[in-house]
Amino acid sequence: MSASVVAATRGAGVIVVLLAGWQWAAGTGRVDPEFASSPARIGTTLWHLLSTSSFWTVQLRATAGGFAAGWSLAVVVGIVLGVAMGLVGPIRDTLEPLVMGFYATPHIALVPLLIVWFGFGFQYKLVVVFIASVFWVLLNTIAAVREADEGLVRMSRAFGATRRQVIATVVLPGARSGILVGVRLSVSHGIIGAVIGEMFSSHQGVGFLVSESAQLGLIDRLLALVVLLAAVGTGTNAALAALQDRLERWRRPDTG
Amino acid sequence: MPSGDVCLRASGVSKWYRSGSGDTTWALRDVDLTVMRGEFVSLVGPSGCGKSTLLNCVAGITAYDSGTLTLDGAAIRGPGVGRAVVFQDAALLPWRTVAANVAYGLAVQRRTTAAQRRQRVEALIGLVGLTGFERHYPAELSGGMRQRVNLARALATEPELLLMDEPFGALDALTREQLQLELTRICDERRCTVVFVTHDINEAAFLSDRVVVMTGRPGAVHSVVDVPLPRPRRPELRRTSAFAEVEGQLWERLHAQAIEVS
Amino acid sequence: MTSGTVATRRRRHTFQSVRWRRIVLGGGLAVLLLLLWQWYSSRSAHNIFIASSPSRSWDSLVALVTTGSFWSVQLAATAQGLALGWSCAVAAGLLLGAALGYVRTLREALEPLLFSINCVPRLALIPLLTLWLGYGLTYKAVVVVIAGFFPVLLNTMDGVRRADNELMRMSRSFGAGPVWQLFTVALPGSLPSVFAGLRQSLAHSVVGVIGAEIWASSAGLGWLIANAELQVRTDRIIATIIVVTVVGVLLNETLRLVESRCTRWYPRERR
């Protein structure tokens, strides 16, 4: 057996053992399942949740809608502003202090403010998701644009390329990968932003379900939702990473 | 200058690797080598001929699979005692000063008191010409200076056998010659026994008492060339006909082993 | 290989002049926006409590900071939770991170588990924790631990794991055993990664404690925000947000200071 297979089984084994132990403890009453739940209960609750149509048509749709709107706006703003700030010094100097100021503010603290300003509706969710996503896109884009390969730039200029040509043919294509990384990271953060936003103030959506489950003391449902969120987060990240790999097959792995 | 008794003896030393599909690659096969105390022996040969592998086995950081390898009669089973290695990479701990780095080997081996360590460190820093740099950090030193610290650290442990693996390979030509000169002076002064790996014929001829030509696939000793040039070795030596003759001999042997292998 | 070579090609600006430009332009923009906001709020008939204004927020801030109970009750409550939680998170993260980074079998066994747990959105666990722990100091501290543990763990693990191969080989050649190697090579070498992890962790921990307080607590900066939200006093919310931000920045800068003291040996390229 190859080393990596051994490692994988070892790792998976630990998880299985822990889950089994938990289940056993809950099943035999060593740990109160009402309080601590159990893998079995979480599983059944999750299944039940996913097979309820209203979950999909009402809750998930609400979250997804808010996410889609806020995120796409964040991506557009992030890339446009990021490229501008990356390329043009004065723009960067003007905006960067403000951007960094907002970045330094713990976003969670802004949520109550947004609730007061935007109420409980769609607008609020859009802004929350926007704030959660935009910085990932923006900061990665700025960095990607600024870190153009010096050797390539020099080569291009040696051929007599104008500044515009250099930007179009070297800087921007080279930045594409970094920008995509920022976009990819912004997805999972945007999703979490949507859920957290809903948690604090909403009457629909996955986040609302979390908050409602807490208020009703439904620990099983809470944990089921948490598991679901974790799965969605990993899933989207993995899928996007794979997508990025495919798009960038020209990029050989860095060997040194 | 060799003094008569045997320091290192290798007899039938072999090392092999088995690949996943069952094929065996011989890194070293039946290597026989004797190094007398006080001798400076170089190992030369093409890339992949096993000279670094042999050095690592002597250093005790790579295990050998068969044969005997003894240092002062005691079989070599692991690193540390009696040997010190100077690698091409200076491997200085970046968070320690020069003085603390030179003391590192001594500290690991725990055979000295702090006061002894301090004394030795001071002496060695002077020996390699770095007085005044004791409190500098590696990041502030040039490549040549770092290798001097590397050498000082190795010598601090007063090893029976000094092992050097292409120590000057990464330096520019000027610094390299400078350090070769320093090395030969230091080794003469302290009567070190040295095994020196290099692919540079000129360097090998200049520094050594004997040069072992190795051949690759499998790694083994092809032939040994004596270098009966006078000591101390001065830079002008490189331009004498006697030196050219030694170099010529070495080239000849290298070509011969290349032809035999192919 | 950095620096915007294209953008700054023709201009040989010194570091100082860039800094001034930032202060002037950036500051100028900020002032402009504040003035616009002030004008908007004084002019329209909008509910002043909701829209608020720079002047009112400033008054609120001053009132807040000059109240004794702010320091002794609210800030203290948050600080307690943060300090308790973060120190636990750091201690656990460093120990486990060093162990996992150094011992391969341990790492292989636990890595999948840790990565799975890492994928769980930590703030979403806050409601659950209120159910289990109420909303006192323990609850707050636990939220902070959950928020701050992973960055320390992962970065420390990474740093120790990437112990410089050449340095390890050198150390072994002198006869150093695994324990010596851990303490003299792997751990000191991992310091840059460890500090990166600490900074990340601190930021997450601040978010954690505030989030926990906003959700459910009886005192603290987050509680102040939630309270102000209920009373629809935007000026108070903004004032508290400013305080929170300042606290966060101060903590971060302190950490950076500590880091620069500990790492004067960094090679030039890295600083």
Average pLDDT, chain A: 86
pLDDT (tens digit per residue) in C83-109: 999 999 999 999 999 999 999 888 888
Categorize the per-residue pLDDT at C25 as very low, low, confident or very high, splitting at 50, 70 and 90: confident
Q: What is the pLDDT of residue C1?
A: 37
- Indicate the helix (H) or strand (E) that contains B109: helix B104-109
Domain boundaries defined on chain A: 1-36, 52-251
Q: In the prediction, which pLDDT does A38 show?
A: 82
Dihedral through CA C70, CA C73, CA C77, CA C83, nearest 10? 80
Chains that touch B (3 or more CB pairs under 8 A): C
Residue B1 domain flag:
no
Coil, strand or helix: which one is B164?
strand
Among B104, B139, B158, which residue terminates a domain? B158
Are B151 and B105 part of one and the same domain?
A: yes
Q: How far is C263 from chain A (nearest CA, A)?
A: 25
Q: Nearest-CA distance from C255 to chain A in Å?
A: 15
Pick from C51, C69, C88: which residue ends a domain? C51
The answer on B243 and B184 residing in a single domain is yes
Together in a domain, B71 and B15: yes
Residue B87 lies in a domain: no
Least CB–CB distance from C174: residue in B94, B108, B137: B108
Of chain B, the percentage scoring pLDDT greater than 90 comes to 70
Interface membership of C244 toward A (CB under 8 Å): yes
Per the prediction, chain B carries an average pLDDT of 91
Q: Out of A159-163, A197-201, B105-109, C152-156, which region has the weakest mean confidence (pLDDT)? A: A159-163
Question: How sure is the predictor about A254, in pLDDT bands with cuts at 50, 70 and 90?
Answer: very low
For residue C159, give how far its alpha carbon lies from the nearest alpha carbon of chain B (Å).
15
DSSP B161: E
Determine the 3-state secondary structure of C15 from DSSP. helix
Within-domain flag for B12: yes
Give the mean pLDDT of C28-35: 88
Interface of C with A in 144-163 (CB under 8 A): none
CA-to-CA distance for A197 and A211, rounded, in angstroms?
A: 11
Same domain, B207 and B256: yes
Cα–Cα distance for residue pair A20/A39, rounded to 1 Å: 8
The reply to whether B169 and B248 lie within a common domain is: yes
Mean pLDDT, residues A156-179: 84
pLDDT, position A173: 84
Q: Is position B236 within any domain? A: yes
Give yes or no for residue A243 having a pLDDT over 90.
no
Tokens linked to A212: 């409602």
Average pLDDT of span C181-205? 93
User: With contacts defined as CB-CB under 8 Å, which chain B residues touch C174?
Assistant: 79-80, 84, 104-105, 108-109, 157
Nearest to B61 among C172, C184, C191 (CB): C172
Q: Are both C231 and C121 inside the same structural domain?
A: yes
Cα separation of B12 and B31, whole Å? 5
- Domain match, B144 and B231 both: no
Total structural domains within chain C? 2
Q: What is the mean pLDDT of residues A106-119?
A: 89
Confidence check: pLDDT of C12 > 60: no
Q: Do A192 and C123 touch (CB under 8 A)?
A: yes
pLDDT above 70 covers a percentage of chain C that reads: 89
Is the preceding omega at residue B232 within 30 degrees of 0, hence cis? yes
Candidates B80, B89, B95; nearest CB to C174: B80
Q: What is the pLDDT at residue C8?
A: 44
Interface of C with A in 105-144 (CB under 8 A): 105, 108-113, 116, 119-121, 123-128, 130-132
Confidence of residue C9 (pLDDT cuts 50, 70, 90): very low
Bridge partner list, B68? B11
Q: What is the CATH number of the domain that holds B170?
A: 3.40.50.300
Q: Over 60: is that where the pLDDT of B88 sits?
A: yes
Q: What pLDDT shows up at residue C250?
A: 93
**Res B49: pLDDT:** 84
Q: Alpha-carbon Rg of chain A, whole angstroms?
A: 23
Looking at this protein, which amino acid is placed at residue B179? L
Residues C45, C123 within the same domain: no
Q: What is the pLDDT of residue C48?
A: 61
pLDDT of residue C2: 40
Average pLDDT, chain C: 86
Residues in chain B with CB shorter than 8 Å from the CB of C180 are: 108
Q: Is C195 in CB contact (< 8 Å) with chain A? A: no
Assess whether the previous peptide bond of B218 is cis (omega < 30° from 0). yes
Q: pLDDT band for C44, please (50, 70, 90 cuts).
A: low
Q: Which residue in B53, A50, B61 sits closest to C173, CA to CA?
A: B61
Residues C205, C147: contact at Cβ < 8 Å?
yes
Chain C nearest-CA distance from A51, in A, is: 22
We report the CATH number of the domain holding residue C73 as 1.10.3720.10
d(CA B157, CA B108): 10
- Per-residue pLDDT band for B8 (boundaries 50, 70, 90) equals very high
Tell me: do B257 and B173 sit in the same domain: yes
Of C243, C250, C255, nearest in space to C71 by CA: C243
As separate numbers, helices (DSSP H) first and strands (DSSP E) second, chain A gives 13, 0
The 10s digit of each residue's pLDDT in B184-238 is 999 999 999 999 999 999 999 999 999 999 988 788 898 999 999 998 999 999 9
Q: Are residues B71 and B168 in the same domain?
A: yes
Same domain, C92 and C192: yes
**Cβ A105–C245 below 8 Å, yes or no?**
yes
Identify the domain containing residue C30 by its residue range. 1-51
Which one, of C258, C228, C197, lies nearest residue C60 by Cα?
A: C228
Cβ proximity of C102 and C181 under 8 Å: no
- The residue among B129, B158, B187 that closes a domain is B158
State residue A255's pLDDT score. Answer: 38
Share of chain A above pLDDT 70, in %: 96
For residues B192 and B67, state if they share a domain: yes
- My answer on whether C28 and C148 are in the same domain is no
Q: What band does A70 get if pLDDT is binned at 50, 70 and 90?
A: very high
- C267 to chain B: closest CA residue: B139
More confident residue, A201 or B35: B35
Q: Under an 8 A CB cutoff, do B93 and C167 touch?
A: yes
Cis bond before residue C54 (omega within 30° of 0): no
Whether residue B60 is found in the same domain as residue B181: yes
pLDDT digits (tens, 9 = 90+) for C108-146: 888 888 888 888 888 889 998 988 888 889 999 999 999
Q: What is the pLDDT of residue A256?
A: 33
A182 pLDDT higher than 90: yes
CB contact under 8 A, B84 and C169: no
Q: Which residue has the higher pLDDT, A63 or A120?
A: A63
Q: Are residues B176 and B239 in the same domain?
A: yes
- Locate the chain B residue with the closest alpha carbon to C265: B95
CA-nearest residue of chain A to C18? Answer: A93
CB contact under 8 A, C264 and B96: no
pLDDT of B121 > 70? The answer is yes
What pLDDT, on a 0 to 100 scale, did the predictor assign at position A9? 83
Of C11, C119, C210, the CB nearest to A233: C119
Which ipTM value was assigned to this complex? 0.84
Interface list for chain C against chain B, based on CB atoms closer than 8 Å: 164, 166-167, 169-176, 180, 184-185, 188-189, 191, 263-268
**For range A225-237, the mean pLDDT:** 88
Q: Are the beta carbons of A94 and C105 separated by less than 8 Å?
A: no
Neighbour tally for C67: CB within 10 Å: 12
Tell me the CATH class for A52-251. mainly alpha
Q: How confident is the model at residue B167 (pLDDT cuts 50, 70, 90)?
A: very high
Residues of chain B with Cβ-Cβ distance to C166 below 8 Å are: 87, 89, 91
Amino acid C14: pLDDT: 63
Structure tokens belonging to residue C137: 């100091």
Q: Which domain holds residue B76?
A: 6-82+163-261
Q: Which of A137-141, A144-148, B16-20 has the highest mean pLDDT?
A: A137-141
Q: How far is it, in rounded angstroms, from Cα C101 to Cα C118?
A: 17
Which residues of chain C lie closer than 8 angstroms to B84, CB-CB? 173-174
Beta-carbon neighbour count of residue C260 at 10 Å?
Answer: 12
Min mean pLDDT across A15-24, A152-161, B108-117, C189-198 is at: A152-161
Q: Which segment, A198-207, B14-23, B140-149, is predicted with the most confidence on average? A: B140-149
Residue A218 has pLDDT above 90, yes or no: no
Task: Read off the tokens for A30.
Answer: 């060593």
Domain count within chain B: 2
Q: Is the pLDDT of residue B177 over 90?
A: yes
Residues in chain A with CB shorter than 8 Å from the CB of C226 are 112
Question: Looking at the predicted structure, is the pLDDT value of residue A60 above 60?
Answer: yes
Arithmetic mean of pLDDT, A219-248: 87
